[in-house]
Amino acid sequence: MTTVAGVDACRGGWVGVVLHDGAYAGIHVAERLAEVVAGIGTAAAIGVDIPLGLMESGPRGTDAAARALLGRRRSTIFEIAPRPCWDQPDHAAASALSRRLMGKGMSIQSWGLKAKLLDADALHDRQAAPLWEAHPELSFQQMGLQFADGTKKTWRGQRARLRVLAAHGIDLPEDLGAAAHVPADDVLDAAAVAWSAARIAAGRAYSVPDPPRVNERGQRIAIWC
């Protein structure tokens, strides 16, 4: 049996959907990413919808490549500033440093990722889990979701995502237990990332860009789908 998982940031923490041999097997919710990973246990791959791997200067490259691939959904991927920017005390200082290191400022939406990004970066830096960066919109695109199916915040969009997941063998239950309070779109995103994790474990995933970039710490930087 192959165990994989997909994890997405949600209000108050993280939510992780677990698959056994491609089928839904459970869900975990916790404040810290390390807690969700511990709850998942041994896994062949864990996809995470958060940037993994930062540059010391310059753009990561993967974000621009993924935005180009997503087309009309490109706004769902932010350009991620270099590592020193995330140590700044506020958005204004971080954006100013980003302009010096990357040639462009940092959006306020990107700055809003700071706590979750640093939480994931600390775990990834320690190589404490088989973490792979993924993005649910890329995953859903590969699964066959169409732009006309709508956004994840709409009824039509959520129904379409459930349909696409089910077509790939992932049937999410109505009762999510302790995760019942998690917004539906975050659960759907985690499930889509879990699908990509299954492809990673099976050696069928590809990276954006291909080949991945490598940062100053020797970490691969790519989104996998």
pLDDT confidence bin for 34, thresholds 50/70/90 = very high
For residue 72, the model assigns a pLDDT of 83
For residue 105, the model assigns a pLDDT of 94
Least confident of 34-38, 122-126, 136-140: 122-126
Q: Average pLDDT for residues 150-154, to the nearest whole number?
A: 94
For residue 43, the model assigns a pLDDT of 97
For residue 128, the model assigns a pLDDT of 73
Q: Give dist(CA 82, CA 95) in Å, integer.
A: 10
Q: Look at residue 127 and tell me whether its pLDDT is greater than 90.
A: no
Q: Look at residue 129 and tell me whether its pLDDT is greater than 90.
A: no
Report the percentage of the chain scoring pLDDT > 90. 88
For residue 125, the model assigns a pLDDT of 83
Q: Is the dihedral of CA 55, 47, 222, 130 positive or negative?
A: positive
Q: Give dist(CA 101, CA 31) in Å, integer.
A: 32
Q: Give dist(CA 181, CA 30) in Å, integer.
A: 12
Residue 38's closest CA among 123, 135, 136?
123
For residue 69, the model assigns a pLDDT of 86
For residue 16, the model assigns a pLDDT of 98
**CB 18 within 8 Å of CB 5:** yes
Q: Give dist(CA 69, CA 125) in Å, integer.
A: 28
Residue 58's closest CA among 107, 103, 125, 121?
103
**Residue 43 DSSP symbol:** -
Q: Average pLDDT for residues 147-152, to the nearest whole number?
A: 94
**CB 29 within 8 Å of CB 182:** yes
Q: Give dist(CA 151, CA 153) in Å, integer.
A: 5
Residue 125's closest CA among 211, 54, 214?
54
For residue range 55-110, list pLDDT tens digits in order: 999 999 888 888 888 888 888 888 899 999 999 999 999 999 999 999 999 999 99
Enumerate domains of the chain plus CATH numbers: 1-78+118-224 (3.30.420)
pLDDT confidence bin for 126, thresholds 50/70/90 = confident
